[in-house]
A and B are shown apart, each in its own frame.
Chain A
């Protein structure tokens, strides 16, 4: 399996994709100072909004995710990235809740990103796209929630970068967030995580097909660079124990090592597969911009250096969840958020789930995780007076 032979990745909206798009005319003031817009938000919804408009859950996706949380991905045909959680009778029960998931600003699945046409030049933005932040992503989502006429979200939930958005939502729009669930998240991106992101970006930038970010003009794609970025990142989403359990030192379709640089080991083959399938659905420039947004995230810095101040006076009910084997967003990061919430006597639950699944555990089948999440949401629904069935 080669990482070289991949079709052109998507970069602009395809009208055949499911879901909706909101055209936002009013420009957005970005953290970098640029007034950006008009822009478009692509989103998907599941379930129905109740007459009181009080049962909406906003799901925030992670770095490589998109709005297709619970239906087959239009490019890969694979089940939605959170189809284990979102659905009728699921933890995020679409019979009860109205679930919204939007592609982030800077993304490549229909929300305006570096692959879209810059109206001022008629060419794709590429590196003329402004550098965006987690705060910018959330302000863009707020436009969507306002458009949907939802005064207060029942819950904002997400893992990893999605968890960063949850924190940003809860800190900046406390009256609009009844419950917040940041999973495997952190209040700021650590030096180690910035370092990993930089490796990924440099892999893309070093690919001659990247062409200074203007690969579209030359009908080329930095597929090798993006694949390497994904391979390196994917290792950080797992754990040593999980890699050993899945692959050990097992060889791939052979009985002995070949004394060459072929994928002798199963783990190599697996990573190459991860890399090559990723370039089929993701845009390299989007990867640069979104990883940068994560690097810049530091919620305390946005509030005068005090994380507690970010949450002062909050009425939101928080549930933080971390995973024992997650070394990318370790439990200590969640605990720091818990302590900041305690400092303002906020209503907070926190549980560390024991698993060897690593950072990606929030995407896996983890019964204890599901049980905690379901229970927390049921408790919140009771506190909010959400009927069990409203139809």
Chain B
């Protein structure tokens, strides 16, 4: 599972021209210069390195794969080997300005507890995930009766790390349930181009292949 996750982060989305994946570019644009950022599932540290170079960000990372952690630490980034399920509890309330969970929520064991932790440990949480409500996915299940496989979800059902898939609606409902306020959202196609749609609306849930949401979190106590 370790290597699968690393692969997924590295390969499934096409790299943009300047080397940073398009969805990570969108995330980077949302991060104010000089903030304290925790990137969960930081892969080889591409986003953290970008933020350090261009935005003077005090960045930390959590990554599951030894290869990813080594790559990060070897380039001078502060990254711990761990995962969102196990390693968020220790952080104090409001420890970060921003926490980023990019394309990882669906691979956690307890997504609800993870999202609760995200809004607890940071003032803002940026969460991106593949939308299982995307029409092609719905159609594939309906027409073929097989578990959908797509560019963003490339694994067969028996070897997928993505054990908790959700639709945009599911995610928005979870946020409401735990009292996390959605500040902002983007509905995206596979390449990370955004639709000018209400990200919480029915159309977005049908047309978007992935989504990025910004949740309001906690101030330091």
Contact A374 B80 (CB under 8 A): no
Which segment, of A4-12, A297-305, A344-352, faces chain B?
A: A344-352
Interface members, chain A 333-391 (any B CB < 8 Å): 335, 338-340, 342-345, 347-354, 368, 371-372, 374-376, 378-380, 382-383
Residues of chain B within 8 A of A187, CB atoms compared: none
Count of chain A residues with a beta carbon within 8 Å of a chain B beta carbon: 30
Residues of chain B within 8 A of A353, CB atoms compared: 66
**Bound-state Cα–Cα, A345 to B92, Å:** 8
Contact B90 A368 (CB under 8 A): no
Residues of chain B within 8 A of A379, CB atoms compared: 73-77
- Of B78, B90, B95, the residue contacting A349 (CB under 8 A) is B78
- Of A345, A349, A354, A371, the residue contacting B79 (CB under 8 A) is A349
Residues of chain B within 8 A of A344, CB atoms compared: 92
Q: Does A319 contact B (CB under 8 A)?
A: yes
* Residues 303-342 of chain A, each 1 if its beta carbon lies under 8 Å from chain B, else 0: 0000000000000010110000000000000010011101
- Of A319, A343, A352, the residue contacting B66 (CB under 8 A) is A352
- Of A319, A339, A340, A382, the residue contacting B73 (CB under 8 A) is A319
**Bound-state Cα–Cα, A216 to B9, Å:** 64
**Bound-state Cα–Cα, A68 to B86, Å:** 40
Q: Does B218 contact A (CB under 8 A)?
A: no
Residues of chain A within 8 A of B78, CB atoms compared: 317, 347-349
Residues of chain A within 8 A of B92, CB atoms compared: 343-345
**Bound-state Cα–Cα, A376 to B74, Å:** 5
Contact A375 B91 (CB under 8 A): no
Contact A375 B75 (CB under 8 A): yes
- Give the distance to chain A from B6, nearest Cβ to Cβ, in Å: 14
Residues of chain A within 8 A of B80, CB atoms compared: 320, 338, 342, 348-351
Contact B60 A375 (CB under 8 A): no
Q: Does B70 contact A (CB under 8 A)?
A: yes
**Bound-state Cα–Cα, A285 to B80, Å:** 40
- Of B36, B82, B90, the residue contacting A343 (CB under 8 A) is B90
A/B pair count, beta carbons within 8 Å: 80
- Of A340, A378, A382, the residue contacting B90 (CB under 8 A) is A340
Q: Does B194 contact A (CB under 8 A)?
A: no
Instruction: Determine the residue in chain B with the shortest Cβ distance to A377.
Output: B76
Contact B91 A351 (CB under 8 A): no
**Bound-state Cα–Cα, A91 to B18, Å:** 32
Of the listed residues B66, B72, B73, B75, the one surrounded by the most CB atoms of chain A closer than 10 A to its CB is B73
Given A319-B73, A353-B66, A375-B73, verify A342-B91 contact (CB < 8 Å): yes
Given A348-B80, A352-B81, verify A371-B95 contact (CB < 8 Å): no
- Of A338, A371, A378, the residue contacting B76 (CB under 8 A) is A378
Contact B82 A371 (CB under 8 A): no
**Bound-state Cα–Cα, A351 to B78, Å:** 11
Count of chain B residues with a beta carbon within 8 Å of a chain A beta carbon: 23
Q: Does B56 contact A (CB under 8 A)?
A: no
Q: Does B69 contact A (CB under 8 A)?
A: yes
Instruction: Determine the residue in chain B with the shortest Cβ distance to A381.
Output: B76
- Of B60, B74, B91, B96, the residue contacting A371 (CB under 8 A) is B74
Contact B66 A351 (CB under 8 A): yes
Q: Does B183 contact A (CB under 8 A)?
A: no
Q: Does B198 contact A (CB under 8 A)?
A: no
Q: Does B87 contact A (CB under 8 A)?
A: yes
**Bound-state Cα–Cα, A350 to B69, Å:** 8
Given A345-B91, A380-B76, verify A375-B70 contact (CB < 8 Å): yes
Residues of chain B within 8 A of A339, CB atoms compared: 87, 89-90
Contact A383 B70 (CB under 8 A): no
- Give the distance to chain B from A313, nearest Cβ to Cβ, in Å: 13
Of the listed residues A343, A344, A376, the one surrounded by the most CB atoms of chain B closer than 10 A to its CB is A376
Residues of chain A within 8 A of B60, CB atoms compared: 347-348
- Give the distance to chain B from A376, nearest Cβ to Cβ, in Å: 5
Given A351-B73, A368-B70, verify A338-B79 contact (CB < 8 Å): no
Residues of chain B within 8 A of A380, CB atoms compared: 76
**Bound-state Cα–Cα, A376 to B76, Å:** 5
Residues of chain B within 8 A of A383, CB atoms compared: 76
Instruction: Determine the residue in chain B with the shortest Cβ distance to A352.
Output: B81
Of the listed residues B69, B74, B75, B96, the one surrounded by the most CB atoms of chain A closer than 10 A to its CB is B74
Contact B74 A374 (CB under 8 A): yes
* Residues 129-166 of chain B, each 1 if its beta carbon lies under 8 Å from chain A, else 0: 00000000000000000000000000000000000000
**Bound-state Cα–Cα, A350 to B89, Å:** 17
- Give the distance to chain A from B33, nearest Cβ to Cβ, in Å: 18
* 4 A-B pairs with least C-beta separation: A379-B76, A375-B74, A339-B90, A350-B80
Chain A contact residues, CB within 8 Å of chain B: 317, 319-320, 335, 338-340, 342-345, 347-354, 368, 371-372, 374-376, 378-380, 382-383
A-B contact pairs, 13 of them (CB 8 A): A342-B95, A345-B36, A348-B80, A349-B73, A350-B82, A351-B81, A354-B66, A371-B74, A372-B70, A375-B74, A376-B73, A379-B75, A379-B76
